[in-house]
Amino acid sequence: MAIAGSRAGGYGRVSKPAKYKCTKCSWAYEEPAAGGTVCPDCGCKYVTWINPKEFIELGIRQDAILAKRAQAAEEAAAGQKGRADTAAKKQKRQQKNASKARKRNRK
C-alpha cells in the first residue's frame, strides 16, 4: 500500500530534477529523477551527483511524515481493537444474562 505523497506513491507531486556533472567532460545537466544516467554530451557513464543533500533532506522529511502516519494508523488500529473487544464482551455478557433469565423463567 502506497501512501499519497510518499516516495513509494509520489504521483501528482512535482519532483525536483537531479543535477549531474560528467567526470570526463565536466558537462552539467539535469535529469527528472535521481538514478543511473550517462552524460548526454560525451556518453560517459561516470557522472557525479551534484545535489544529493537536497534529495537526502527530502527523503528524511518524507520518512518522518510516513513514520507519523504509521504511528497514527497503529494507534487507530489499537483503539478499534479495544472497541471491538469491548463490544464482544458486552455481547457475551448479554447472551449469558439472557440465558440465565430463561433458566429462571423455566423454574
Query: pLDDT tens-digit profile of 16-44?
Result: 777 888 888 888 888 876 667 888 888 88
Question: Is there a contact between 36 and 62 (Cβ–Cβ < 8 Å)?
Answer: no
- How would DSSP label each residue in 21-33? EETTT--EEEESS
Question: Is there a contact between 42 and 27 (Cβ–Cβ < 8 Å)?
Answer: yes
Is this model's pTM higher than 0.75 or not? no
- Over residues 10-14, the mean pLDDT reads 58
Show Cβ contacts of residue 88 under 8 Å, excluding neighbours closer than 6 positions. Answer: none
Query: pLDDT tens-digit profile of 64-82?
Result: 888 999 999 999 998 888 8
Percent with pLDDT over 70 in the chain: 82
Query: pLDDT tens-digit profile of 40-61?
Result: 888 888 888 887 777 778 778 8
Give the pLDDT band of residue 1 (cuts 50, 70, 90). Answer: very low
For the chain, give percent helix, strand, coil, nearest 5: 50, 15, 35
Q: How far is CA 31 from the centre of its chain?
A: 25
